[in-house]
Chains A and B, each alone.
Chain A
Amino acid sequence: MENKHSSLGESHLDRFFYPLWLRIWHWLNAGLFLLLIASGVSMHFSSLEKPLIPFEAASLLHNVSGILLTINYAWFVVANFVSGNYRQYIPVFKNIFARLFLQARYYLYGMFRGEDHPFHISRKRKFNPLQQLAYVVVVYYFIPFVIGSGILLFFPELAPENFLGFSGITPVAIFHISIGYMLTFFMVVHVYLATHGETIWENFHGMITGYHSGHIETHPQSKDESSKEGKP
């Protein structure tokens, strides 16, 4: 793929961030998230008079989407491990608060002053500190939790008969809904932050073609070193 940065001496591969399996997983996940949110909201706020989606259809849609999400997640876990992409999710704790602050400061202040992104991404480190924290929590905690609690709601006989003195299904349902709300919140913020490339569509385009067209760090080591010192 020819692009405007190829003249800077970067190899073609330097810009190939998102392999096909990752893009398929990502967009399938996105579509299933939307279906699960729509059907979940429709059932949770179900109304006789004005149903968003008819209950039977919403129930079927939610169950089928949930099963597909589970299969898709299993596929992600395997491919993530085999491809070595899991390394992207290993958090770097050193100076984490300083780096999180720098990234948050950029979003809330720096970008309006025309400052450069504090952390340029590279093939070795695709996420900025805020992204990494959010993705680790979402991918390794929230999604497995929502799948696990969804399975218990799908097979309620597997839910504990009694949990702290309450019928087991109630805490499971409340947990499932809470995670559902948080994932919905994540998705809204995720879509918005995805518009923070060099152009609004840059990141969306990258996740379709696999190639990142914005500025990249070709020597991530030096960037890491500077970030450890708390300097952008």
Chain B
Amino acid sequence: MLRAILLLLSIAVLQATENQSCLKCHGMANLAEQTGPGRRLHSYHVAPSGFEHSNHHSLRCSDCHVQGYSQYPHAAAKTIPDCLGCHQNNSAFLDGSKERSLLLRDMEKMKTEFEQSAHHSALKDSFTCVHCHNPHRFADQRGKNLSFEERIEWSNAVCLNCHNSEKQINELKTKEYVYRTPEEIHAWLPSTEMHWKKVRCVDCHADFSGMERNEEERFSHKINPKEKAVRNCKECHSTESILTTRVYQMNMRKAREEEGLITAILWNNSYVIGATRNRWLDLFSLTLLVSGVGGIAIHAYARYYVYRKNRREKNDGE
């Protein structure tokens, strides 16, 4: 037991020591170099606090940055770290948890989806996993006790990290491109801010075809070109809404699990006009309306009957 503790302790110390020596330079916010086409400024900064809270915090820098870093100072990276080396078919990565197993299973699909995405089509190999999922600060929030809005915000931050930054977009662009802010691009969308708080970017911008219903929390990595983005309101605001099979289905299921069936039904927290309705309210109100109309029909018939009867009696009297 003591040996095991000492072993773990020494691994942690070694890892911390190695990472600290890297972060001595890479922890500096202004560590950058002008390189590549156009001599653009590339930052080599890794925020230590961000890394400590990331999913990779337990790794050594050299676990991913494998070659060419044994001496100091080292040259700029010649190879991009291979994410799939760990995240795909790696038994060391499997810790037996359901989420990890699903992630591994999904990885092959994600790769195929990504290769069909607008990002890959436009930027080819210069755009990789790390452009969205910064390995030095990426912290998967799935399974965490976040509110619905927090989950949306977390998901959208992945996209907005680049799309909210003209600098980031300019660094990536391969052809002439006039940067427009997400607000400018979505000016046509009513209640834009509300949509961004309640819907993930990927719900409109990704291709979900072929995904299974229980995969709604995962999104498709096949990001569509802008021409294929959802612009038709009815695709979300209808009973056959794409949202009800995506993030809102997940939200409703989660609400049922956490708050109980009745509360979730009565206080459906996933209100989207046209897509999610309180069935009890509709049932009660429509019953009331139909009963009212039925009552009126009976009453009107009785009036007509009495009117005819009175007229007949009057005619007979004459």
- The SS class assigned to the B binding surface is helix
A116 at the interface (CB under 8 A from B): no
Cβ–Cβ contact A173 & B234, under 8 A: no
Cβ–Cβ contact A51 & B234, under 8 A: yes
Q: How far is the CB of B252 from chain A (nearest CB, A)?
A: 12
Compute how far the CA of A17 lies from the CA of B190 in the bound complex, rounded to whole angstroms.
44
Cβ–Cβ contact B274 & A181, under 8 A: no
Compute how far the CA of A200 lies from the CA of B288 in the bound complex, rounded to whole angstroms.
25
Cβ–Cβ contact B300 & A192, under 8 A: yes
Compute how far the CA of A74 lies from the CA of B194 in the bound complex, rounded to whole angstroms.
28
Compute how far the CA of A59 lies from the CA of B232 in the bound complex, rounded to whole angstroms.
13
Count of interface residues, chain B, beta-carbon cutoff 8 Å: 37
Compute how far the CA of A203 lies from the CA of B239 in the bound complex, rounded to whole angstroms.
41
B278 at the interface (CB under 8 A from A): yes
Chain B residues, Cβ within 8 Å of A173: 271, 273
B20 at the interface (CB under 8 A from A): no
Residues 260-290 (chain B) with a chain A CB within 8 angstroms: 267-271, 273-275, 277-278, 281, 285, 288-289
Cβ–Cβ contact B288 & A181, under 8 A: yes
Which stretch, A131-139, A162-170, A210-218, touches the partner chain B?
A: A162-170
Mask for B232-255, Cβ within 8 A of A = 1, else 0?
111101111000000000000000
Chain B residues, Cβ within 8 Å of A43: 237, 273-274
A93 at the interface (CB under 8 A from B): no
Cβ–Cβ contact A166 & B273, under 8 A: no
| A169 in contact with B191 given A48-B240, A181-B288, A181-B289 (CB within 8 Å) | no
Q: How far is the CB of B118 from chain A (nearest CB, A)?
A: 25
Q: In the complex, what residue of chain A is closest to B268 when comparing beta carbons?
A: A170
Residue from A46, A157, A166 whose CB has the most chain B CB atoms within 10 Å: A46
The answer, among B191, B233, B310, for a CB contact under 8 Å with A56, is B233
Q: In the complex, what residue of chain B is closest to A162 when comparing beta carbons?
A: B147
Cβ–Cβ contact B233 & A174, under 8 A: no
Q: How far is the CB of B283 from chain A (nearest CB, A)?
A: 11
| A170 in contact with B267 given A114-B310, A188-B293 (CB within 8 Å) | yes
B303 at the interface (CB under 8 A from A): yes
Compute how far the CA of A101 lies from the CA of B195 in the bound complex, rounded to whole angstroms.
50
Cβ–Cβ contact B296 & A166, under 8 A: no
| A188 in contact with B274 given A45-B239, A166-B269 (CB within 8 Å) | no
Cβ–Cβ contact B271 & A188, under 8 A: no
Compute how far the CA of A55 lies from the CA of B224 in the bound complex, rounded to whole angstroms.
24
Compute how far the CA of A49 lies from the CA of B270 in the bound complex, rounded to whole angstroms.
23
Count of interface residues, chain A, beta-carbon cutoff 8 Å: 36
Compute how far the CA of A48 lies from the CA of B245 in the bound complex, rounded to whole angstroms.
15
A226 at the interface (CB under 8 A from B): no
B183 at the interface (CB under 8 A from A): no
Chain B residues, Cβ within 8 Å of A166: 267, 269
Cβ–Cβ contact B234 & A55, under 8 A: yes
Q: In the complex, what residue of chain B is closest to A49 when comparing beta carbons?
A: B240
The answer, among B235, B273, B292, for a CB contact under 8 Å with A188, is B292
Residues 13-35 (chain A) with a chain B CB within 8 angstroms: none
Q: In the complex, what residue of chain B is closest to A189 when comparing beta carbons?
A: B292
A178 at the interface (CB under 8 A from B): yes
Q: How far is the CB of B101 from chain A (nearest CB, A)?
A: 33
| A185 in contact with B288 given A156-B191, A167-B148, A173-B273 (CB within 8 Å) | yes
Compute how far the CA of A181 lies from the CA of B281 in the bound complex, rounded to whole angstroms.
9
The answer, among B190, B235, B289, B303, for a CB contact under 8 Å with A112, is B303
B193 at the interface (CB under 8 A from A): yes
Cβ–Cβ contact B268 & A48, under 8 A: no
The answer, among B237, B292, B300, for a CB contact under 8 Å with A46, is B237
B13 at the interface (CB under 8 A from A): no
A128 at the interface (CB under 8 A from B): no
Mask for A160-204, Cβ within 8 A of B = 1, else 0?
000010110111011001100110110011001000000000000
Chain B residues, Cβ within 8 Å of A107: 299
Compute how far the CA of A184 lies from the CA of B292 in the bound complex, rounded to whole angstroms.
11
A44 at the interface (CB under 8 A from B): yes
B52 at the interface (CB under 8 A from A): no
Q: In the complex, what residue of chain B is closest to A163 when comparing beta carbons?
A: B267
Q: B residues near A, CB below 8 A?
A: 148-149, 190-191, 193-194, 232-235, 237-240, 267-271, 273-275, 277-278, 281, 285, 288-289, 292-293, 296, 299-300, 302-303, 306, 310
List 18 A-B pairs, Cβ < 8 Å.
A43-B273, A45-B274, A46-B275, A48-B238, A48-B239, A55-B232, A56-B233, A59-B190, A111-B303, A112-B303, A156-B191, A167-B269, A177-B285, A181-B285, A188-B292, A188-B293, A188-B296, A189-B296
Q: Please give 6 more A-B residue pairs, beta carbons under 8 A apart, in addition to A48-B235, A181-B289.
A: A43-B237, A55-B234, A177-B278, A177-B281, A185-B289, A188-B296
- Nearest first, the 6 closest Cβ-Cβ pairs linking A and B are A46-B274, A181-B285, A46-B238, A170-B271, A55-B233, A55-B234
